[in-house]
Each structure stands twice: as structure tokens, then as C-alpha cells.
Amino acid sequence: MPPPLPRPSRLLIVLPSWIGDTVMATPTLRALRRALPGAFIGGLMRPGLEGLLGGTDFFDEVHLDRASGMMGPKRVAAKVRVRRYDAAILLTNSFSTALTTRLAGIPRRLGYDRDARGLLLTERLVAPRRREIAPYNRSKTAPNDWAPIPACEYYFALARRFLELLGLDAGAMDAMELRVTEAERAAAEGVLSRLPALRSPPPALAFLNPGGNDPKKRWPAERFAELADWLIERRGMTVLISGSPAESDLTARIASMIPATRRERAVDLASVGAGSPIPGLPPLSFLKAVIARCSIMVTNDTGPRHIAAALGVPVVTLFGPTDHRWTSIPFDRETIVLADPTLPDEEVANDHPERCAIERVEVASVIAAIESRFSASG
């Protein structure tokens, strides 16, 4: 067995680009912070995500940039080079981020050998193909495609391997972790308290997240409206309908479909400026604080789902033509509703878009999942 490598005094962690993936990387960040207490740890993060990890202690410094465009890797490399990192862990799969760390002169670079970037890495992990592991090796559908390894485990494997090379043990994988600071909480409360539907006494809040980067993952708007009406009438809740600024038409349409007699108990967050920065507060900081106030979230498979789970908020997640096993999370207060729960285990939902269309999820199934979640929560 080779002797352990020297422990790095300065470690750079290149974070994923998506909200949900960044949250799913937090068990990895915690393992590295715990195992390397004396190291200076920097994070390279896409601009716009800075509010997500506010209040955590994973990093000593955060570099906000993205290696996009032909000169992107060179520009970002120049930014991080001044910190003289002696190791980098790439939670990304892209060629550009591997090139960035190479151009930054970081001598040890660990990541997955994907996207033709193997020669840019000094230590490599190989992600399994479907033909290589059960149950996917029983299927003849796309055997050479990547196996649906849950992202939390996918990232944690990098930390485990890196620490093994140092003669250290990563230990068990922790839960996902986010924090809401007092400043974030106060700013969010300042906005929410001005809304008529949320004036005292504070109502129980349900958070509906009808958007998503892929339209095929979006449950129909009229069903979200029907669900909102049920939550208001039968559960006595106030419903928050949220989305990115680009989804404001969607959230407004859902709010407009709720019967007029109950519409005052629904809040279209985009219409009150929740999608825009509050002075001095990044949008994701506001979103975290709002989600933390809620009793339950119903969501498509998208970033706010992971924020809720990391904050301990019960979640009902709807999955259509994206396999839930890519993003399985260590959180026991989530109920997953699948478009086709009869799909054989060896098959991946991504390969069966018609059979697993999100439109196959019925409102009754989602209501049953919500009732189950409330019963489990006591």
C-alpha cells in the first residue's frame, strides 16, 4: 500500500452549477471541512449561487465566476491562481473546469474521468455504466449510458477517495446542510409580513414549486391550481406559489385559476418581487428563508426541493421522465410520487418518456402523498 500523500494546506473545491446539485454536495463539503480542520478551503461557485450557502462554514473564501466561453478557463484560472492552491476537487464533470484548475497551476486535481478531460486530472474516478451494476445490467436499454448514481453519493465518493489518498477516513455521509441567517430571516419576514394573506395570526404555509429547467418535468399548471385550492379549503393553509423570474407567467396563471373565493389565500411570490434581489440580500437567501417558514413543499424535481430537504421541511416531489434515482437524497421526510411506479427497477425513466410522462401523475395521488406526510409528521 503506497504511503499517504501530504495533506493539502490549501484546497479548492469546484462546485456544481445547479442549485440542487450544490445542495446535494453539502455532505461532501462537510466531510472535507471536518477531515481537514487546519486547511484553507476555497470554493469556486457560479455567480447567482452565493446566497445558497450563506451562514455555513464550508469555505474560507468563495470565488464567484464561471469558466464559460473560449477565454473563460484562462480568466477564472488567473483569479484562483493567486491563492496558490495545492489540491483541487472537481464536483463538476465539465472539461472547462478541469482546464481551469490545470491552468491555475494546481498540482493535484481529482475528479471524474468524463468529457475527455482525463489527461487534465492527476487522480481520476470512473463513474459506472449501466451494464456494470445491478439492477441496470439486467436491461438491454442503453447499457453503455451512465448508471443513475444518486448525486449525493456521486460527490461523496470524490471526498472519500481524496481523503483515502491522505490516509484519512471520510466517515459516514451526513445529511444535506443549509443555514438561514438572522439577516436572511429578518429580510424575508419583512416582505412576507406586508402581504395581506400572511398577516397575523401567522398561517400555516404550503410552498408550491411548479417550475423547472426542463418543461417535460413540470406537472400541469391546472393541477397545481387544483392542489392549491384543496390545500386552502381542506387544510386551511395559505399557499405560496414560487418560481424563477422567467417563470412569473406560470405562477401568475396558476394563481388566476384558483377560485376567486379562495384566491386571497394564495400568494404569487413572483408578483411581489420575490424573484428580484432585495437590496443587500441575494435572491437565494430570500428563497431559503421563505422555504424555512413552510410546513410542506410540493415540487417538481428541481432546486427548491433540495433546499427544503436541507432545511428539514417536509417535501412531496413529483417525478416524470427523469429517474428519481439520479437525485435520491438522505432525507426521511420526503414522499416521492412517480409517474409510473410500475416501471421495472432495471429500467431508467429517462429512456421511457411517454410511459413516465409527468402528466400521468394524478392530483389524487399527490393529495394522498401530502396526507401521508402530515400523518408522518404528527
Three-class HEC string of 22-72: HHHCHHHHHHHHHHCCCCEEEEEECCCCCCCCCCCCCCCEEEECCCCCCCH
Residue 211 in grid coordinates: 417550475
Hey, which CATH number is domain 182-376, 3.90.550.10, 3.40.50.1780, 3.40.50.2000, 3.40.1180.10?
3.40.50.2000
Are 286 and 274 spatial neighbours (Cβ–Cβ below 8 Å)? yes
Q: CA 374 to CA 230: how far, in whole Å?
A: 14
User: Across the chain, what does the average pLDDT equal?
Assistant: 93
Read off the pLDDT of each residue in 333-357 and give the average, rounded to a whole number.
97
**CA terminus-to-terminus distance, the chain:** 52
pLDDT above 90 for 271: no
Which has more pLDDT, 71 or 258? 258
Pinpoint the residues of the chain covered by CATH 3.40.50.2000.
10-165, 182-376
Q: CATH for 10-165? A: 3.40.50.2000
pLDDT above 60 for 1: no
Which has more pLDDT, 18 or 68? 18
pLDDT above 70 for 324: yes
Residue 322's closest CA among 209, 214, 222?
A: 214
**Total-model pTM:** 0.95
Task: Return the pLDDT at 378.
Answer: 63
Read off the pLDDT of each residue in 26-42 and give the average, rounded to a whole number.
97
